[in-house]
Structures are given as structure tokens and as C-alpha cells.
Amino acid sequence: MCALLPAALAACDVDPATRAATDATAPADTRVAADGQPIAGDASGAVASGEAPGVPGTRGGPSSTLPVAPGSTAGNAQTPAPADADAEVAITPPGKTAAADADLADDSPLRLQVLLERAHFSPGEIDGKGGSNTRRALAAFQKAHDLTAGETPDEATWAKLNEDDAPILVEYTLTADDVAGPFRDTPDEPEDMAKEDALPYTSVEEKIGEQFHASPALLAELNPDASFEVGETITVPYVAPAARLPAASKIVVDESEAVLQLQDDAGKVVAQFPVTTGSAQFPLPIGDWKVTGVARDPVWHYDPELIAGSDPDDEKAEIPAGPNNPVGTTWIDLTKEHYGIHGTPEPSKIGKTESNGCIRMTNWSAAAVAKIAKPEMEVVMQR
């Protein structure tokens, strides 16, 4: 199962030895200015690591702090910082429209995924192909707008989606920060992860992919001749509006649909995200819970007794922060002991695998939800 003990993290991965490489910083800012350049700041949506008491973190310098396990040598356990629900996320117009935008078919799967993402009905990692997460996102969008449900968008659904007339693909010029790294391979075993000072991306392609909610394979397809060096202009999906979620009063996690929904005061679904939830050994804790706070760049406290498929001879270990950390870059703490809503190092697997009880999302979705997750906000988990 997952754990914040209290404000200490144990893992939520079914198999901690199997993970994709991602980055040692929080998700890069997805806001893009009119000239196509990133806006300074962090759109990760969770409170700064320096606001969560605990061990030194990787973001914010040596004085930054992160949650720790009770009784550990890293420090005294304390509660997570409150969710920063009132902070505004600035969304600016896109930069220059990419030439490839004009080549997209009106019914392109890539167009559908980007429009759904910007409408807050997320297909998860954008790959330009679609699949079960995209179908669930489409169905939820159609239901929310009283449209006829279907496996593919009908004319009325496209008309509603196309009310958002911003470009699908835009140009983006890589900055020194984008390509600076560090980039390195991620160890497979928890004991080896614990020896690292951080768990960074293995490549700039993975880092930029997470920044723009896209798979590295899609970036390669959109930019076949790119070297991903500083100053180079590449084509990326325009997803900045997805960072600002509508107001919500309740979080609902539906196990059967593998989704997390945000509902308003009237019970209307205003946003939906694919999630990975529970397993036979560590099922989703059905019931009513509440948000207690948010931690950013959390340290993972690996305990083999809490992880399905772990080697019983493994020792407990503290795994350093970063998007390749098994709980990603954001932890939303709940009143259900040991459970939380958090990110992932493997966005392509969200909605398609099992967890150790917690609710796992893409890093960018967890960050966005953390932005509106008020303390005492109701969280309903259902089958």
C-alpha cells in the first residue's frame, strides 16, 4: 500500500524494479508565453518542498524539506503542508502555430487527445493514437455536455470540442534549463535507488515529453530531425490550459472506470483523469475520506512488507525525490492512513496496471489536482 506515516511515504508500485525513467525536478512549467517561450515559475501545482517538514529535498536547495518516516534518522515526522487551493495558475496564449498543425486531419486522434486534455477530460499521456484512456475521457466529456455517447466523436461532439480554437501544435524553443539535465539512468532496485541523490530523467526527450503531456515517441514523430539542443525550435502539443482546473468541491475515484473525477457543488463532473487504483492484495479503500494536505517532491520510504511482489529479504530504504520516484512529484495526503493520490514515473501505464492501494496519476495531472485540493475536501472512493 501507499503510506504517509504521518507525512512519510511508502511505495505504491506493484513492482518497484520495473519503471520508466523520468526527472529529478517537479514537472516543468507548462505555461507558454505568446512568443512560444516558457513563463518563469512552476506549474506543478503542489506546495514547494521547502514547506513540507522533513529531510532535505532536491528542489529549493539544502534548506528544502520533505516528508520522512517516524523514527527514521532523517528527522522527525510532521504533517504535510496544507493544499494551496487558492493560488492562481496563469494561462497565456500559445506561441507560434507549428507548420504540422495544418496537416492534422479534422478527426485526428492527436487533435482529439489535445482538445480533451485542454477541456480537463484527460486522455493521460498524449501519444497521437488513442486507446482506453482516450475512450473514457471522450465518454465523460460527452456525458458532461449532454452529447450522444459513442466510440468516436460525432459531429456535435466535434463542434463542442472545436469551441476551443487554439492551435493543437505549437513551436517551442528549447532553453538552457530544458537541456541542462542532469540526465542519467535509473537503478532497477530500491537499494540502488537509495544510493542516488536524485532520480532524474534519462533524456531531454523524456523531460520535454512530461512538460507537454506527450510520450517521447510522439515528440520523436513530430520532430524526426531534432537533436533537442538548446536554442532548437521543436513542435509540441499546446496543453497549457490544462493546468488551470475549474473549481471543484469533491474528488471521486471510480475503481471500475479507472478514473478520478472532480465534481462541483451540484455533483456535475467538471474534470476527469485516468488513474491506477489498487490490486487484489492492496485494494482501493472504498469509502469517504478527506484531503489533509499536499507534499511536493516526496521521498519514497520503501518497505518490502507493503509492496506486492517485493523480495522479502529487501531492507527498508529511503528513495530520493524526483519524477522517477515511485510516487512521482506530488503527494496529496488523505485521512485514510497510508493512502494518498500521487504521481508516477511511468505515465504510459496509468489506467492500465495495478497499484498497491493508492491512486496513481500522471505527474502533471497530480500536480493540477493538488492545486485545487483544499484541506478537508471530500474524497469518495467507489467501485
The three cell numbers locating residue 9: 511515504
Question: Which is nearest to 291 in space by CA: 383, 382, 371?
Answer: 371
pLDDT in tens, the chain (383 residues): 554 333 334 435 333 333 322 222 233 333 333 233 333 333 332 333 322 222 223 332 222 233 322 222 222 223 455 555 445 566 656 889 999 999 999 999 999 999 999 999 999 999 999 999 999 999 999 999 999 999 999 999 999 999 999 999 999 999 999 999 899 998 988 889 999 999 988 889 999 999 999 999 999 999 999 999 999 999 999 999 999 999 999 999 999 999 999 999 999 999 999 999 977 777 899 999 999 999 999 998 888 877 767 777 888 989 999 889 989 999 999 999 888 999 999 999 998 876 666 899 999 999 999 999 999 999 999 99
Is residue 342 in some structural domain? yes
Is residue 225 in some structural domain? no
First-residue to last-residue Cα distance in the chain = 18
CB 66 within 8 A of CB 279: no
Cα 53 to Cα 71: distance, rounded to the nearest angstrom: 14
Is residue 364 in some structural domain? yes
Just list the catalytic residues. 342, 358
Is residue 378 in some structural domain? yes
Domain range for 365 is 3-24+243-382
Cα 236 to Cα 178: distance, rounded to the nearest angstrom: 14
Cα 318 to Cα 329: distance, rounded to the nearest angstrom: 15
CATH number for the domain that contains residue 350? 2.40.440.10
Is residue 55 in some structural domain? no
Say how many domains are in the chain.
1
Rg (C-alpha) for the chain, rounded Å, is 19
What's the pLDDT at 144?
Answer: 98
Is residue 191 in some structural domain? no
Is residue 75 in some structural domain? no
Number of Cβ within a 10 Å radius of residue 305: 10
Cα 38 to Cα 326: distance, rounded to the nearest angstrom: 27
CB 163 within 8 A of CB 223: no
CB 69 within 8 A of CB 82: no
CB 122 within 8 A of CB 116: yes
**Which burial class, exposed, middle or buried, applies to 76 when counting CB atoms under 10 A from its CB (0-12, 13-18, 19+)?**
exposed
Is residue 179 in some structural domain? no
Give the pTM: 0.79
DSSP secondary structure, 315-331, as one string: PPEEEPPSTTSTTTTEE
CB 213 within 8 A of CB 273: no
